[in-house]
Structure 1
Amino acid sequence: MRDEDEEARSAHAQSRPDRGEQVDSCTLIVRLNSGIELEYDLDPRRFTLP
């Protein structure tokens, strides 16, 4: 499972927008110890600084 995590992180890092760049969507994935994965689609406008 760690190999999968590393692959996902490296793929994310390549497609990650630069700091301060506007994004259309943001997804938070929570992986529980029981193996259940929860995925939340977040509105990035709620997390921007004025």
Structure 2
Amino acid sequence: MNKQKKYYVHPILTIIGFTTLCTFILGFPLGTILGSGLGYTIGVLNKENNEIK
């Protein structure tokens, strides 16, 4: 009886969001690379967890 609403966020939005956030915090070269990697990883995991089984 565990009915949780799961919202699907497109991986591109996750990548852009984390890239922007990390760039503001860490600066251009490091923040952009770290944010892109983090956003891609979380976006892919989010997509895998929301697939209908």
TM tier, smaller:
0.3 to 0.5
Normalising by structure 1, report the TM-score.
Answer: 0.34
Normalising by structure 2, report the TM-score.
Answer: 0.32
Task: Specify which structure has the higher proportion of strand.
Answer: 1
Task: Specify which structure has the higher proportion of helix.
Answer: 2
Q: Which has the higher contact order (CA 8 A, sep 6+)?
A: 2
